[in-house]
Amino acid sequence: MDRRVAVTLAILAEEWRTDHRVSDLAAAVNLAPSRLQHLFKSDIRMSIRQHVQHRRLTEAARLIATTHLRISEIVYYVGYRDVSNFNHAFRRTFGVSPGQYRRSAVLPPPQKQD
């Protein structure tokens, strides 16, 4: 893997909830944006945007299945700004709505707080 792609992956892993501009990522590794995008897609087999979306949706699915947080809270936590866009992306990726995904997960009932 190209070391500049590895650095970009490290930045994205560390700051996965942040909206990064490709031009800023490219500047961080001394490449033109188009060259970084080309190298990234060649090494990772998906675009930077697809990689970020995959990471966010994977984390959202984990939180939906393992917590009692409201889905809207999860949407904003993982870096989406719009619930509708999140719902469409989630359905495209997992084949069900976030609510259906949660209902299919086996969660223990929420604990009452005293």
The tens digit of pLDDT for each residue in 76-102 reads: 999 999 999 999 999 999 999 999 999
* Residue 52 near residue 16 (C-beta atoms within 8 A): yes
**DSSP character for 17?**
T
If you compute the radius of gyration of the chain from its CA atoms, what whole number of angstroms results?
Answer: 17
* Residue 110 near residue 68 (C-beta atoms within 8 A): yes
User: Global pTM?
Assistant: 0.81
> Is the pLDDT confidence value at 109 over 80?
no
> Is the pLDDT confidence value at 2 over 90?
no
> Is the pLDDT confidence value at 48 over 70?
yes
